[in-house]
Amino acid sequence: MSPARLHRDRAAQAASSHTPIVASVEGGRPAPTAASTVTHPAAMTPAGTHRLAQAVLASETDPGTMLAVGIDPATAQIRLRLQHDLRRLKDIQSIQLKIAAKREMLPEYRDWIDGMLRIAREEGVAVADEVLPVIMIWNIDTGDWPRALELAAHVLRHRLPLPARYQRSAPALIVEEIADVAISEQNAGRPFPLDVLEEVEALTADDDMYDEIRAKLMKAIGVELMRGADDAVPGSTEQREAALRALDPLRRAQTLHDRVGAKGSIKRLEKLTKDTPGHLSSSAGVGGDNAQPAMPVVNAEAEGDPAAAKVEPDVTSSVGDAS
């Protein structure tokens, strides 16, 4: 190893000892309060961001410059990469092209994210960082459900904050984004993985959020459970039991928000539970005759476009319901 390379490595190792924000501590110890939390050096003003960028550029010839701004080169580079990619996404107008671009970008962040997860598992602490929550959302957008849920569990377990531009808490964002994708697929007559919806429900069961958002998730779960009644032999015990399973989340969705669009499905399922002849329409599928065409879901906030960002949840879309 050359002396210059050795010097850079030592500088990076020294920089990594700077104290980050610890979002939570597992094992029964309370998370730090706002008063006791140490601000991460990378939570910078625009002037600080400019100094950081200059430090990254200068680090090859002067590793001490990176130490001066209090952040190691690896962290600086991954954050600058994210800013570059966010600017690139903002310049793309097509939602489908945005999703394709995110799918292309994601592998560049995998090693960094794996390292963050490994540290949290080994040390029982997590660092509040902008990169991981954004990558979680990109995985939702691209439909990588195992990875999205892995990161969602990490964010929720350690109560990691989201970047301010998202204007929602992490639990509310996770529930709404995944429920929106599920309802979009269901409106198009396509199934959505029930296990994903049920895991999201379990992860966020104790979290506070607007009832309209929770109603979306419960409706999506109920619609997927309806498929069991749709596939069962008409009038059979299996169909009645499947209808009962689907009724519970649909009724909860309707209770949480009257305009969620579950009334028609509830009425049809109630007929099945009373052993009334008839079955769910196979021609209309789960979506029914009134299902709306799917609209792609994307996080406009993540591309830095506040005008296109969702401000209020849209819960009026209906899966087979005119209500």
Residue with tokens 């979306």: 216
- What's the per-residue H, E or C state across the chain? CCHHHHHHHHHHHHHCCCCCCEEEECCCCCCCCCCCCCCCCCCCCHHHHHHHHHHHHHCCCCHHHHHHCCCCHHHHHHHHHHHHHHHHHHCCCCHHHHHHHHHHHHHHHHHHHHHHHHHHHHHCEEECCCHHHHHHHHHHHHCCHHHHHHHHHHHHHCCCCCCHHHCCCHHHHHHHHHHHHHHHHHHCCCCCCHHHHHHHHHHHCCCCCCHHHHHHHHHHHHHHHHHHHHHCCCCCHHHHHHHHHHHHHHHHHHHHCCCCCCHHHHHHHHHHHCCCCCCCCCCCCCCCCCCCCCCCCCCHHHHCCHHHCCCCCCCCCCCCCCC
Cα separation, 275 vs 167, in Å, equals 47
Phi–psi pair at 249, nearest 5 degrees: -65, -35
Cα separation, 276 vs 204, in Å, equals 36
Please report the pLDDT score of residue 195 as a whole number: 96
Please report the pLDDT score of residue 212 as a whole number: 96
Is pTM, for the whole model, over 0.95? Answer: no
Please report the pLDDT score of residue 56 as a whole number: 43
* 10-residue averages of pLDDT along the chain (323 residues): 47 41 41 32 44 45 46 83 95 96 96 93 85 96 96 95 90 97 94 97 96 97 93 88 94 94 91 61 39 42 41 35 34
Cα separation, 319 vs 174, in Å, equals 21
Residue 60, CA distances (Å) to 10, 65, 125 in order: 13, 10, 31
